[in-house]
Structure 1
Amino acid sequence: MCGIAGFIRTDRRPVEQAELKKMIATLNHRGPDASGTQVLDSVGLAHSRLSIVDLAGGLQPMQTPDGMLSVTFNGEIFNHIELRAELQQKGYQFQTHSDTEVILLMYAEYGPECVHHFNGQWAFAIHDRRKQEVFLSRDRMGIRPLVYTQTPSRFCFASEIKALFALPDVERRVDHTALNQLFTFWSPLPPRTFFAGVSELPPGHSMIVKDGNVKIWQYWNLDYSPNEDNRSLDDWADELRSLLINATQLRLRADVSVGAYLSGGLDSSITAAIIRNYTNAPLNTFSVNFNDKDFDESQFQQEMITELGTDHQTVCCSYDDIGRIFPTVIQHTEKPVLRTAPAPMFLLSKLVRESQFKVVMTGEGADEVFGGYDLFKETKIRRFWSRQPDSKIRPLLLKRLYPYMKNLQAQSPDYLKAFFKIREDELDSPFFSHLPRWDLTAKLKTFFSDDLKQELQAQDPQAEFQQQLPAQFSEWPSFCQAQYLEAINLMPGYILSSQGDRMAMGNSVEGRFPFLDYRVVEFASRVPVRFKMNGLNEKFLLKYALRDLIPDSIRQRPKQPYRSPDAHSFIDSNSQRARFAYVNELLSPECLEAHGLFQPTAVQRLVKKMEQGRAIGTRDNMALVGILSTQILVEQMINGQTVTAGKETTAPATITS
């Protein structure tokens, strides 16, 4: 895994190599092993390398022997061995053993259609000198990032926005529409980013830049059209098992050691169990747990460690650990976050890297692909309730949801009915499944400044989202509609980005995701809903297909998503003060007024509630994290100021073996 950057001079002026070096220097964390630049015609490419495949021969930017094609590539093509054999049969000769060269020669053979042959995770740019154009592409699920911007004199691209901001002609401004979307959906709708004028290439898209013109198209999309409904459960299970084993085996291809995350949940346990039972690879696992037992899953982690006999290491997080590292986390996310969950993942990847591992397997994607989130149960119950809206019994099923959320469980049936309320006009909404979550998140906008509220009052984020839905969306089962919304929005925009790529690559670690092998994803989209959720038993098919590899206690435990402490990480209600000076500084009326995004008085009331221990709900926690992370980001990337925990930093997170 690596960092890429570059630009095309649309004014035909010479490329200054010094500017390329400034861009790629900002991405050293993504590729500390080597860096390189290349200038050809009016195109400059840059690369920072994390050496994983062909350690000696995979240097980039890479060029074909005739000099007609050059590439800078971030990612892995897991089926590169098979593709290499196909190309050799066609007469192509290879100079290296790297998957990067496979991309170049696949492009030489197939042009932009080459991406349909790739099983992997990628963001790359290919300079085609014959056609005088640059071809860029991003993987199907959006695992690897690719951002770009245009100035009057050039088109610029990179793995991260900080590389674009290394150029003097790239403006730094907050995109208020993107902020409005993020405080609804947790992430801006692509192609928007948090920064005005900076776009991201959406997942499953490619683009060509030629003569200053940009052409973007979608080469792949999810399709939940029902078919093969008459297959038996065992048929589906056998195919899934085979696919997952192969997807995991492919992702173990590397010339360096590969570790695995082990959270104590079903998905990472399955990945680790497949490695143990179907490969000869050594099994080194890593996990995070918490001093706050409300978030800790170490008991289940230990059960899988014992079951699989792994060589295991753990990092234990405290409130102070999260607050201490949070400014660094936001420097990597490059967008505000509404939860602190990325912070422990950053500390976990740091442990992986310090243990001499560059690659880690993870279970992300299984919940979206196989329907594991409680949101899917919630939607099913709300649909069931809507058929008899006056029922006294049906709403009680809501008590079956979110067993890990004590505050919600303590509420009365009347409160639950009000919170999960069903309005008649919402039943036909394409967003029925997500309306409670989005409504709750949108309430955070009450903290927006008056000027910002005035500017945004005519905007409708949901209408903007609806315009991006595929034409066949309305024909899919409601369960699959909810899956699609998770898979194209929250997963690439937050789970794989803020919690995934940015946290791992912040410590020069590559994450690999067997559940997001496109063959697994396409298979799962065809699975009948009754095999995804049986009654309220989520991921039913996945549990059934791998039942012999996972202990019953793990397979049957209630779903508990990965979470971490939020407001307590910044404000100590026992001492009634902020844990770190930067929290006071960035949430001060003066700083809030200067940034102009939030109401100082409202924020001060929120902070006071936190200090007094009265703010315990999800809304207040999300508000504090969202406001603080936005303030950090503006200070860091707009104003160019460093934000750190300073002298109040406590001892680092505890590591155990």
Structure 2
Amino acid sequence: MCGVAGYLGYVADGAALLAAMAGAIAHRGPDSEGIDIFPQAGLAHRRLAIVDLGNGQQPMASENGRFVISFNGEIFNHVELRRDLEAQGHRFRTSADTEVILHLFERYGERCLSLLNGDFAFAIWDSLRERMFLARDRMGVRPLFYTRHRGAVYFASEVKSLLKVPGLQAMLDIKALDQILTLWAPIAPRTAFQNIFELEPATYAVIDRNGMTTTPYWELEFPDHGDYLGVAAEEELEDLLMDAVRLRLRADVQVGCYLSGGLDSSVIAAIASRLDTQPLRTFAIGFESREHDESYFQSIMVDHLQTRHVQTLMTSGDIAADFPDVVRHMERPVIRSAPAPLYALARLVRSNGIKAVLTGEGADEIFAGYDLFKEARVRRFCARQPGSRFRPLLFRKLYPYLPNLRRQTPEYLSAFFMAGSANIGDPLFSHRPRFRSTSSTKMFFSRDVKNALGGYDAAEEIVSLLPSDFRRWHPLNQAQYLETRFLLPGYILSSQGDRMAMAHGIEGRFPFLDHRLVEFAARLHPEQKLKGLDEKHVLRAVAGKLLPKEISERRKQPYRAPDTEAFVGETKHEFVDAALGADSVRRSGIFDPVTVEKLHRKCAAGAPSGFRDNAAFVAILSTQLWQETFAAGSPSRAVA
């Protein structure tokens, strides 16, 4: 994992600019820096040394000097690819995976992307054709942003690097904010910044004197009804998982593992402990709040695997203290405080001398682990059986870890979960309750923002981007596509993933997001993933061979962190009062100061708050912090 930056076009002092751009992302690659300048182009690199520690410096040139690469990420099958290339006559100077990409690109051009098993974002300068080639991995693990400014194209691993370009101003994109407050994330290529874009996952771009073109090279596809894998799925899953973990343990430094106490990270840790020759290093978050804490289950796995375990205990005050830095690294507003503990966890890992960790992200998306998938199934049942006496029981079965739900009346439960359920043919049927609940924050928008947005509907933009055969898929597969295509790269792998880990120079590795596993899971029969209301059915069968029953049969507890209570209460946080104060809100121009003040008073008084109040509070606070961090001094930019 590293940081990349570069440009194509006329730049007055390219070396100075690239030094500034690289400096802005030094946290991504604290081990070394490299810069190369070409006619009308340049590349910069910040290195986090994990493979070939002594010889993997970048930018790296091909043997004949035609191609030069700046690469962020890991190619996990680089050993096998190198072997094939050597058999074809290619010679290598290093053992770095970076050089493997160069040789592959030299031989196959953009077709090399289909051969890569890895997480990557890279740029390759072709001096012969005078063009820049950019590419990003299939799932969107590694970020890459770009902008066009004064006749040149600039790109980098993070937006803060692009903001070093002279004259480029940070302006909030209010449609992106509307998307975040509906979908939890912007819809790529849009970002929170006007005129700054994200290269989409599974996409490559070519930049030359004629402009910039983007082309997708992979798409997540689900089979039509009936065209599913057979009974050998469990064995194939076990083999694929073993190999995915084996490949991701490759490194010239020790690889650790996050251990939440849930099924997904426990499976990865169990396999890693079998394959690794060293005692496994594991790391976890504990919470002062019992409602959020999973320390008991972590201890079961630590005892089972005999790992060298370290935990950081988070208080609400810790979350608040880190939150301004969290927003700076995320570079976007959010509706939850959940990234903050992961920021602290990465800091803990780094302080223990580890540079790379395996994590369990991706399993909930590809094996249908989220409550949303079960909720959609219940809503479909209730829409077809409107008089069923099982409706309240089914709603409560969905969320046994939320005791407040037991106190709700059947009428309330039906109103909350069943809104919009009459139209079961709606392509967004599974996600409508979430979108509706989250988007309630938009009631706090200022009049100017509401007028500027007009009738814009972020959810309908999603509909326009769906594949042509989407409606032929099983409803569960439709829901999985929405989650995997939009929320996974837009929030889980970015705000909670890459940004929090790389803030401290930590590389996250995700075995469940090996593209072979993703494609395998897409071909499974829906009942092998969600059997009744039991999530991740086939994964649990494999987990039963690896884990104690208390873990393998444990019902999923979603990762959550204290939200509003982290920022209000006995401990006062000056930045919260400043950001939500009437003058600050009025100056930013995004929200209505009167309604924001009412929400702030309500939360500060300790009044009971549900998801909507929590989401609104965190969203408004993070947006205000974003504005102060990136666009301070220009209130009109918010509604430009």
Give the aligned partner of residue 56 of structure 2. 58
For 2:241 and 2:39, locate their aligned partners in 1 and report how far apart those are by CA, in whole Å: 45
Residue type at the aligned position of 2:594: T
Give the aligned partner of residue 222 of structure 1. 220
Give the aligned partner of residue 558 of structure 2. 561
Counterpart check, 1:335 vs 2:332: yes
Counterpart check, 1:598 vs 2:591: yes
1:423 CA displacement: 3.5
| CA contact 1:407–1:617 (8 Å) conserved in 2 | no
| CA contact 2:228–2:523 (8 Å) conserved in 1 | no
Report the secondary structure of 2:321's partner residue.
helix
Report the secondary structure of 1:571's partner residue.
coil
Give the aligned partner of residue 457 of structure 1. 454
| CA contact 1:569–1:579 (8 Å) conserved in 2 | no
Give the structure-2-normalised TM-score: 0.97
For 1:582 and 1:279, locate their aligned partners in 2 and report how far apart those are by CA, in whole Å: 45
For 1:483 and 1:491, locate their aligned partners in 2 and report how far apart those are by CA, in whole Å: 10
For 2:453 and 2:343, locate their aligned partners in 1 and report how far apart those are by CA, in whole Å: 33
Report the secondary structure of 2:65's partner residue.
coil
Residue type at the aligned position of 1:412: T
Deviations along 1:9-46, one digit per CA (max 9) or x if unpaired, are 1xx45652000000000001000000011001111100
| TM alignment of 1:225-264, pairs within 5 A | 225-226=223-224, 232-233=230-231, 235-264=232-261
Counterpart check, 1:116 vs 2:114: yes
| CA contact 1:7–1:154 (8 Å) conserved in 2 | yes
Counterpart check, 1:616 vs 2:613: no
Residue type at the aligned position of 2:586: E
| CA contact 2:36–2:43 (8 Å) conserved in 1 | yes
1:93 CA displacement: 0.8
- Identify if the C-alpha distance between structure 1 residues 640 and 407 changes in structure 2 by more than 3 Å, giving closer, same or farther: farther
For 1:409 and 1:95, locate their aligned partners in 2 and report how far apart those are by CA, in whole Å: 64
Give the aligned partner of residue 149 of structure 1. 147
Counterpart pick for 1:380 among 354, 377, 381? 377
Residue type at the aligned position of 1:617: G
Report the secondary structure of 1:420's partner residue.
helix
1:550 CA displacement: 1.1
Which is further off, 257-266 or 540-549?
Answer: 540-549
Deviations along 1:575-595, one digit per CA (max 9) or x if unpaired, are 4xx621010111000000000
Counterpart pick for 1:429 among 405, 426, 430? 426
Report the secondary structure of 1:426's partner residue.
coil
Residue type at the aligned position of 2:4: I
For 2:598 and 2:300, locate their aligned partners in 1 and report how far apart those are by CA, in whole Å: 44
| TM alignment of 1:88-487, pairs within 5 A | 88-226=86-224, 232-233=230-231, 235-423=232-420, 426-487=423-484
For 1:242 and 1:434, locate their aligned partners in 2 and report how far apart those are by CA, in whole Å: 33
Give the aligned partner of residue 648 of structure 1. none
| CA contact 1:206–1:216 (8 Å) conserved in 2 | yes
Report the secondary structure of 2:587's partner residue.
helix
Deviations along 1:424-454, one digit per CA (max 9) or x if unpaired, are 6531110000000000001110111111011
| CA contact 1:386–1:422 (8 Å) conserved in 2 | no
Gaps of 5+ in 2: 635-640
Give the aligned partner of residue 647 of structure 1. none
Residue type at the aligned position of 1:602: T
- Identify if the C-alpha distance between structure 1 residues 640 and 82 changes in structure 2 by more than 3 Å, giving closer, same or farther: farther
For 2:226 and 2:504, locate their aligned partners in 1 and report how far apart those are by CA, in whole Å: 44
For 2:201 and 2:400, locate their aligned partners in 1 and report how far apart those are by CA, in whole Å: 33
For 1:422 and 1:639, locate their aligned partners in 2 and report how far apart those are by CA, in whole Å: 40
For 1:425 and 1:43, locate their aligned partners in 2 and report how far apart those are by CA, in whole Å: 56
Which is further off, 402-411 or 367-376?
Answer: 402-411
Deviations along 1:388-407, one digit per CA (max 9) or x if unpaired, are 12323234301111222233
Residue type at the aligned position of 1:59: Q
1:230 CA displacement: 7.0
| CA contact 2:8–2:208 (8 Å) conserved in 1 | no
Deviations along 1:397-422, one digit per CA (max 9) or x if unpaired, are 01111222233332111110000114
- Identify if the C-alpha distance between structure 1 residues 178 and 242 changes in structure 2 by more than 3 Å, giving closer, same or farther: same
For 2:582 and 2:38, locate their aligned partners in 1 and report how far apart those are by CA, in whole Å: 50
Deviations along 1:345-378, one digit per CA (max 9) or x if unpaired, are 0100101000000000000000001100011110
Report the secondary structure of 1:267's partner residue.
helix
Give the aligned partner of residue 5 of structure 1. 5
Report the secondary structure of 2:71's partner residue.
strand
1:153 CA displacement: 2.1
For 2:166 and 2:43, locate their aligned partners in 1 and report how far apart those are by CA, in whole Å: 17
1:90 CA displacement: 1.2
Report the secondary structure of 1:207's partner residue.
strand
Counterpart check, 1:68 vs 2:73: no
For 1:428 and 1:97, locate their aligned partners in 2 and report how far apart those are by CA, in whole Å: 53
Report the secondary structure of 2:207's partner residue.
strand
| TM alignment of 1:503-582, pairs within 5 A | 503-572=500-569, 575=570, 579-582=572-575
Report the secondary structure of 1:314's partner residue.
strand
Gaps of 5+ in 1: 642-657
| CA contact 2:224–2:472 (8 Å) conserved in 1 | no
- Identify if the C-alpha distance between structure 1 residues 228 and 586 changes in structure 2 by more than 3 Å, giving closer, same or farther: same
| CA contact 1:259–1:357 (8 Å) conserved in 2 | yes
Which is further off, 199-208 or 382-391?
Answer: 382-391
Report the secondary structure of 1:196's partner residue.
coil
Query: 4+ residue runs of structure 1 moved beyond 3 angstroms?
Result: 12-15, 226-233, 422-425
1:318 CA displacement: 0.2
- Identify if the C-alpha distance between structure 1 residues 579 and 13 changes in structure 2 by more than 3 Å, giving closer, same or farther: closer
Give the aligned partner of residue 14 of structure 2. 16
| CA contact 2:138–2:202 (8 Å) conserved in 1 | yes
Give the aligned partner of residue 638 of structure 2. none
Give the aligned partner of residue 587 of structure 1. 580
Report the secondary structure of 1:339's partner residue.
coil
1:533 CA displacement: 1.0
Deviations along 1:590-613, one digit per CA (max 9) or x if unpaired, are 000000001111011011111111
1:226 CA displacement: 4.2
Give the aligned partner of residue 622 of structure 2. 629
| CA contact 2:382–2:391 (8 Å) conserved in 1 | yes
Report the secondary structure of 2:354's partner residue.
coil
1:89 CA displacement: 1.1
How much identity, in percent, do the aligned residues show? 46
Give the structure-1-normalised TM-score: 0.95
Report the secondary structure of 2:469's partner residue.
helix
Counterpart pick for 2:631 among 630, 638, 649? 638
| CA contact 1:5–1:163 (8 Å) conserved in 2 | yes
For 2:352 and 2:313, locate their aligned partners in 1 and report how far apart those are by CA, in whole Å: 16
1:212 CA displacement: 4.4
Residue type at the aligned position of 1:153: G
For 1:157 and 1:126, locate their aligned partners in 2 and report how far apart those are by CA, in whole Å: 12
For 1:136 and 1:407, locate their aligned partners in 2 and report how far apart those are by CA, in whole Å: 49
| CA contact 2:229–2:525 (8 Å) conserved in 1 | no
1:297 CA displacement: 0.3
For 1:496 and 1:44, locate their aligned partners in 2 and report how far apart those are by CA, in whole Å: 28
Q: CA RMSD in A?
A: 1.4
| CA contact 2:225–2:473 (8 Å) conserved in 1 | no
For 2:509 and 2:210, locate their aligned partners in 1 and report how far apart those are by CA, in whole Å: 35
